[in-house]
Amino acid sequence: MEDITLKAQGIKTSFQTSEGKVVAVNDVDITIREGKILGVVGESGCGKTVTALSIMRLVPEPNGKIEEGRIEFMGKNLLELSSEEMRKLRGAEISMIFQEPMTALNPVFSIGYQMKEMLKLHRGMTDEQATERAIELIDMVGIPRAEKVIKEYPHQLSGGMRQRVMIAMALSCDPKFMIADEPTTALDVTIQAQVLELMKDLNEKMGTAIMFITHDLGVIAEMADDVVVMYAGKVVEESNAISLFHEPKHPYTMGLLRSRPDMLEEGEELQSIKGMVPSLLRMPEGCPFNPRCEHRMDICVKEMPQLIEVKPGHKTRCWLYDDKGGK
Amino acid sequence: MKKNEVEGLSPWKIAKRRFVKNKLAVLGLILLGVITLGAVFGPMLTPYEAHEQQMMMRNQGPQGDNLLGFDSTGRDILTRVLHGGRVSLAVGIVATSVATIIGVVLGSIAGFYGGIRDGVIMRLVDIVMSFPFFIIAAVASAAFGPTVFNTMLIIGLINWTLIARVVRAEILSLKEQEFVEASRALGLDNLEIIRIHLIPNVMAPIIVYSTLTIASAILIEAGLSFIGLGVSPPTPTWGNMLEAARSLTTIQNYWWQWIPPGLMIFFTVLSINFVGDGLRDALDPKLKE
């Protein structure tokens, strides 16, 4: 058995809205192996980001609440830590980078100032040490003329450079684990490729485990060692990347793979999954995917399937693979 | 520095460049500088004391060494105008500092935390805003005495509401920005986020409103002193110099007793307002040059 960096079990996070309580993440298990990249895929609104925020304990209060679960990290259950202990962990041991690099930096301070702040806070460095380290980090994420860049302000950098700065900040204290929430969605394709390459590179060099959230299966294929597919707040399939791409089990995963243009032969028509993600307020009975599923059976509309292991290391939540489903 | 190097322009440098382009604001700043220098160093240059009376010279007009003449008790007007400037400017600055500190602290707490804290603080703002100001000032100066210090405090304690509202409104929108979330993910606590990240972002409106508050504090001090509720004589302020000269005979016959302090109030407030407007334009991030 390999070493596990973070193991989340049965996370259930809900939000209080004007229309009632909504369970955005329901009974989600996430396991991240040391130094590996876990990809989390799913359509918009399926609970990827909320899962990440739950791990960071940054679910917006007072409306959001982590109701159940256990998140084991460095021998501690994160959900039992005091907010002060948790705060010390953030940035130092677990860090996170966000989707939108344009607004994730404070516009009134120079890049260097914002990077040094982290190093002083978590590492207790002096100003000179922090400056030196900041230059080193900016250099590491592949931004040329690092000594100049630390004196510049966010508006002087391009989106790709800002995202690199964010990555540098997230890595500045050598965290064991980093969450990347669609870090390349806001960037154009060429920059996207560079940033992905950089992250993969840093993951190998520094051994930081990464939870990589995206809706782009191509990115997952490129980056991830393991994959979790989420649908409507549930994990529907979990496997290593190779197995997932070669033998997808869940009809939703198959649908996602089929709706990718680069998997097509010439002349073949591009398919899509019919319908939409159901509203969290009006979840269908049984399997949440049943209204869109082409293999729907009677049991699918009555009972929620369990996550079962169909093959070593490959789990899926579908009646097709359950004896009870009467295959 | 090489010539063709692109220099990192901080928001402050950009603002400075814009401010310098605004002629009225620069004029205001120069005027304000002259007035301030006069108030700070002027009294050292005149040979008279503020309270020194020359009974023989009562109500005498400008002459020789006494450029602005004498008042009804034989004191040198120029000396008193300069001393009065010290008091008026000090009242403006201290009262505004009190108001700004209260306004920024309460405004950022209300904006950042929301909920019950916001409710309590904003209702407090509403209450303070509905105080009949002169009555409160009269009660306060009757209860605690009409000293310079009390005047500063009263003006400060009444004038923080506007700044609190502005800061709250700015923070309400700023706290939804992703860099706040990002700082949280990097391990900063709420107070650090407010102090390090949010308040610097609100500095521009704070500076503008504080500047304008200085002007109104000076006016309020003059008004209070004029009706005898501010700084009490014989301490010279522009307000109570006007008060001393308010009789009809004085206004008709001894212009040098009331025009100088009146003009000083006028020019000081005008120049501060010019500077404030200039700062508002210079610090407005939406305005591109």
- Residue B252, pLDDT above cutoff 80: no
Question: What is the average pLDDT value for chain B, to the nearest integer?
Answer: 83
Min Cα distance A163 → chain B (Å) is 12
Q: What is the pLDDT of residue A263?
A: 62
Integer Cα distance of B245 and B255 in angstroms: 9
Cross-chain Cβ contact A156/B8 below 8 Å: yes
Cross-chain Cβ contact B182/A98 below 8 Å: yes
Cross-chain Cβ contact A95/B177 below 8 Å: no
Q: Has residue B149 been placed in a domain?
A: yes
Q: What is the pLDDT of residue A327?
A: 46
Q: What is the pLDDT of residue B289?
A: 44
Percent of chain A's residues with pLDDT above 70? 97
Of A318, A302, A298, residue with least CA distance to A310: A318
Amino acid at A288: P
Min Cα distance B100 → chain A (Å) is 21
Cross-chain Cβ contact A95/B197 below 8 Å: no
- Cβ contacts of A100 on chain B, cutoff 8 Å: 178
Q: What is the pLDDT of residue A324?
A: 67
Residue with tokens 């989390």: A40
Q: List, in order, residues 6 or more apart from B209 with CB less than 8 Å away.
A: B100, B162, B163, B166
The CATH number covering residue B95 comes to: 1.10.3720.10
Q: Has residue B136 been placed in a domain?
A: yes
Q: What is the pLDDT of residue B165?
A: 93
Each residue of B104-148: pLDDT tens digit? Answer: 999 999 999 988 999 999 999 999 888 887 788 778 878 887 788
pLDDT in tens, chain A (327 residues): 468 888 888 889 988 888 888 888 888 888 898 889 999 998 887 888 889 889 988 888 778 888 888 898 888 888 888 888 888 888 888 888 888 777 888 888 888 888 888 888 888 888 888 898 899 888 888 888 888 888 888 888 888 888 888 888 888 888 889 999 888 887 788 888 888 888 888 888 888 899 999 888 888 888 899 999 998 888 989 998 888 888 888 888 888 888 777 666 777 777 777 777 777 777 778 888 888 888 888 888 888 888 888 888 888 888 888 776 554
- Residue B159, pLDDT above cutoff 70: yes
How would residue B2 be classed by pLDDT, with cut points 50, 70 and 90? very low
Cross-chain Cβ contact A98/B201 below 8 Å: no
- Cβ contacts of A103 on chain B, cutoff 8 Å: 177-179
Q: What is the pLDDT of residue B260?
A: 84
Min Cα distance A104 → chain B (Å) is 4
Q: Has residue B48 been placed in a domain?
A: no
How would residue B5 be classed by pLDDT, with cut points 50, 70 and 90? very low
- Cβ contacts of B177 on chain A, cutoff 8 Å: 103
Mutation target to probe the A interface, by most A beta carbons within 10 A, among B2, B10, B116, B186 is B186
Q: What is the pLDDT of residue B253?
A: 77
How many Cα atoms sit within 13 Å of B120 on the Cβ side? 6
Of A140, A153, A274, A289, residue with least CA distance to A229: A289
How would residue B286 be classed by pLDDT, with cut points 50, 70 and 90? low
Residue A35 φ/ψ, nearest 5 degrees: 70, 10
- Cβ contacts of A90 on chain B, cutoff 8 Å: 184-187
- Residue B162, pLDDT above cutoff 60: yes
Residue of chain A whose Cα is closest to the Cα of B199: A108
Ranges in chain A annotated CATH 3.40.50.300: 4-93+173-263+271-325
Mutation target to probe the B interface, by most B beta carbons within 10 A, among A90, A93, A106, A150 is A106
Integer Cα distance of B218 and B215 in angstroms: 5
Q: What is the pLDDT of residue B8?
A: 57
The token duo for A192 is: 């996207």
How far out from the chain centre does Cα B81 lie?
Answer: 18
Cross-chain Cβ contact B185/A148 below 8 Å: no
Residue A153 φ/ψ, nearest 5 degrees: -105, 155
CATH of segment(s) A4-93+173-263+271-325: 3.40.50.300
How would residue B181 be classed by pLDDT, with cut points 50, 70 and 90? confident
Cross-chain Cβ contact B185/A105 below 8 Å: no
Mutation target to probe the B interface, by most B beta carbons within 10 A, among A55, A78, A108, A109 is A108
The token duo for B7 is: 């220099």
Q: Has residue B269 been placed in a domain?
A: yes
Amino acid at A280: L
Percent of chain B's residues with pLDDT above 90? 17
Q: What is the pLDDT of residue A228?
A: 92
- Residue B73, pLDDT above cutoff 80: no
Q: How many residues does chain A have?
A: 327
Q: What is the pLDDT of residue A92?
A: 85
User: pTM of the predicted model, to two decimals?
Assistant: 0.76
Q: What is the pLDDT of residue B107?
A: 93
Min Cα distance B8 → chain A (Å) is 5
Q: What is the pLDDT of residue B182?
A: 85
Integer Cα distance of B269 and B277 in angstroms: 12
Cross-chain Cβ contact B186/A100 below 8 Å: no
Cross-chain Cβ contact A96/B197 below 8 Å: no
Min Cα distance A1 → chain B (Å) is 31
Distances (CA, A) of B209 to A82, B30, B103, B160, B162: 40, 20, 11, 10, 8
Q: What is the pLDDT of residue A110?
A: 87
- List residues bridging with A20 in a β-sheet: A17
Each residue of A20-39: pLDDT tens digit? Answer: 888 888 888 888 988 899 99
- Cβ contacts of B183 on chain A, cutoff 8 Å: 106
The per-residue DSSP string of B90-146 comes to HHHHHHHHHHHHHHHHHHHHHHHH-HHHHHHHHHHHHHHHTS-HHHHHHHHHHHH-S
- Cβ contacts of A58 on chain B, cutoff 8 Å: 181, 184-185
Percent of chain B's residues with pLDDT above 70? 91
Q: What is the pLDDT of residue A149?
A: 87
Min Cα distance A96 → chain B (Å) is 6
Query: Which domain range does residue B142 map to?
Result: 21-40+70-283
Q: How many domains does chain B have?
A: 1
Cross-chain Cβ contact A105/B177 below 8 Å: no
Min Cα distance A111 → chain B (Å) is 11
